């Protein structure tokens, strides 16, 4: 990568000494920063600090919050205060805007955080600091005088910074950032999801609150997902072949809890609708007899967020949820404001939408890969038991193909929004859970397979 000359970068001379300027050329550090992190996926903001030995800022302007530069390595000057004999520290953190607090600083430890010592400069002294993905989630420990080693990811004493090595990483060169293609074509009716890495979860409001600090870094192997939610007809055909139990039957009484179950033995047209009212074991069984399985929470979110793009919704970041997905169409009383979040998509400029499941191809809820209705229509069973991101199965710096088989709360996980639920449930990172594994009018099934 072409090196950006000092002062040609917008960072320029970030830190000047605390004394008055006399006009003479002063000794200074020329600090360069490099990273192997995919940008902006793992960072679109940078905070750089010049610190005293006790961790306090070395001067009033010794903390700068910056946008991530377009050219790397990022280079800036630091003019030491006084006679320049005092040892200082430079600390840099690369993070995502969405994880910042009101002060602009990261609220989470799920950032790249490194620091090093600055000894008295001799003229213009070049030093280098590497923001390595090996250090993701390993915060600087100033009180212990430790920072993460960019090569090993382990804590080491704060190093004395020297010049940049002959070879420095480029953004996106982290080995975990590479897309892993599927080894063979996806089975009929399924779509390949190439493997890769992403930050699971979101640091913003969720229906089920999770600890911000526990946003796991996940790496997934390639897999395939059914393009569509399984239909009534598909389920009935498989059930007949493998002697599986039938879904709960539609009840024609509008007051019945099964009125919106899509399996109707007296209506052939119901075969085209996505099947619901399946309990979790039925969903697992209908996948397993095909040589498939339920997707994991991580696989569902990765696909729904358009993989490494980590979009807000399956269709992208457009927040007009009602336009794209079958959500917030609950049969509750439209005139009762108590239920407003569950009804917001019933009223349209063209009239009033009826509640209920819709044909899979009838919405605009589609990812770039062509997976449909990951955001709405039916929520879907996943293989995981529900566990907070603070629980054991989500711990670790990088998780490979995670799946929670144990939890402490007895809840079962499901993913994706449903026609019965509010718009927020369409978000790719949104988590859903319930205390029982019984079926409902808002839950369906989609199968996955590994390569």
3-state secondary structure of 49: strand
- Tell which CATH classification among 3.30.2130.10, 3.90.1580.10, 3.20.20.70, 2.60.40.10 matches the domain 190-450: 3.90.1580.10
For the chain, the residue count is: 451
| Residue that has been written with the tokens 């069973």 in this structure | 381
d(CA 98, CA 76): 25
d(CA 422, CA 116): 48
pLDDT, tens only, 303-312: 999 999 999 9
Cβ pair 34, 164 in contact under 8 A: yes
Least-confidence region, from 186-190, 206-210, 246-250: 206-210
Say yes or no to pLDDT of 203 above 80: no
Give residue 318's pLDDT band: very low, low, confident or very high (50, 70, 90): very high
pTM of the full structure: 0.88
Residue 7 in this model has a pLDDT that exceeds 60: no
Beta strands in 221-322 (DSSP E): 223-226
Phi, psi torsion values for 242, nearest 5 degrees: -115, 10
Could you confirm whether domain 13-157 is CATH 1.10.10?
no
Weakest-pLDDT range from 100-109, 270-279, 328-337, 371-380? 328-337
**pLDDT surpassing 50 at residue 18:** no
Confidence of residue 213 (pLDDT cuts 50, 70, 90): low
CA distances from 312 to 125, 307, 318 (A): 44, 11, 8
Structure confidence by residue, pLDDT tens digits, 73-100 = 999 998 887 766 788 999 999 999 988 8
Query: In this predicted structure, what is the pLDDT of residue 390?
Result: 83
d(CA 317, CA 59) in angstroms, rounded, equals 40
Mean pLDDT of the chain: 89
Task: Give pLDDT, residue 6.
Answer: 29
The domain locations on the chain are: 13-157, 190-450
Whether 5 has a pLDDT exceeding 60, the answer reads: no
What is the per-residue pLDDT across 340-362, written as a single tens digit (0 to 9) for each?
A: 889 999 877 666 788 999 999 99
Nearest to 297 by CA among 170, 402, 180: 402
């Amino acid at each position: 990568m072409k090196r950006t000359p000092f002062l040609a970068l917008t960072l320029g001379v970030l830190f000047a000494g605390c004394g008055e300027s006399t006009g003479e050329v002063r000794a200074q550090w020329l600090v360069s920063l490099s990273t192997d992190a995919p940008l902006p996926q793992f960072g679109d903001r940078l905070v750089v600090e010049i610190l005293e030995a006790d961790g306090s800022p070395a001067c009033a302007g010794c903390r700068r919050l910056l946008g991530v530069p377009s050219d790397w390595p990022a280079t800036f000057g630091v003019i030491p205060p006084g006679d320049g004999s005092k040892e200082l520290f430079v600390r840099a953190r690369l993070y995502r805007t969405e994880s910042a607090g009101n002060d602009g600083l990261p609220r989470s430890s799920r950032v790249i955080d490194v620091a090093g010592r600055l000894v008295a400069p001799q003229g213009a002294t070049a030093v280098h600091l590497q923001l390595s993905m090996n250090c993701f989630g390993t915060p600087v420990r100033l009180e212990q005088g430790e920072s993460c080693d960019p090569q090993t990811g382990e804590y080491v004493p704060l190093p004395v910074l020297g010049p940049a090595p002959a070879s420095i990483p480029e953004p996106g060169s982290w080995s975990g950032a590479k897309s892993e293609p599927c080894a063979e074509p996806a089975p009929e009716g399924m779509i390949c999801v190439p493997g890769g890495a992403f930050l699971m979860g979101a640091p913003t409001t969720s229906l089920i609150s999770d600890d911000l600090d526990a946003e796991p870094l996940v790496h997934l192997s390639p897999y395939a997902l059914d393009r569509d939610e399984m239909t009534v007809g598909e389920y009935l055909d498989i059930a007949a072949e493998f002697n599986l139990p039938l879904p709960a039957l539609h009840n024609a009484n509008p007051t019945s809890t099964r009125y919106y179950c899509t399996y109707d033995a007296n209506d052939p047209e119901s075969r085209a609708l996505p099947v619901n009212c399946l309990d979790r074991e039925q969903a697992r069984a209908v996948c397993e007899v095909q040589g498939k399985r339920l997707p994991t929470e991580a696989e569902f979110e990765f696909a729904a967020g358009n993989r490494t793009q980590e979009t807000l919704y399956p269709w992208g970041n457009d927040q007009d949820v009602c336009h794209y997905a079958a959500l917030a169409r609950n049969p509750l009383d439209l005139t009762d404001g108590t239920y407003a979040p569950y009804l917001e998509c019933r009223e349209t400029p063209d009239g009033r939408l009826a509640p209920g499941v819709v044909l899979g191809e009838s919405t605009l809820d589609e990812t770039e890969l062509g997976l449909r209705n990951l955001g709405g229509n039916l929520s879907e069973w996943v293989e995981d038991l529900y566990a907070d991101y603070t629980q054991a199965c989500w711990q670790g710096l990088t998780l490979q193909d995670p799946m929670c088989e144990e939890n402490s709360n007895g809840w079962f996980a499901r993913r994706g929004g449903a026609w019965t639920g509010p718009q927020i449930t369409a978000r790719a990172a949104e988590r859903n859970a319930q205390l029982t594994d019984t079926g409902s009018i808002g839950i369906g099934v989609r199968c996955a397979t590994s390569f």
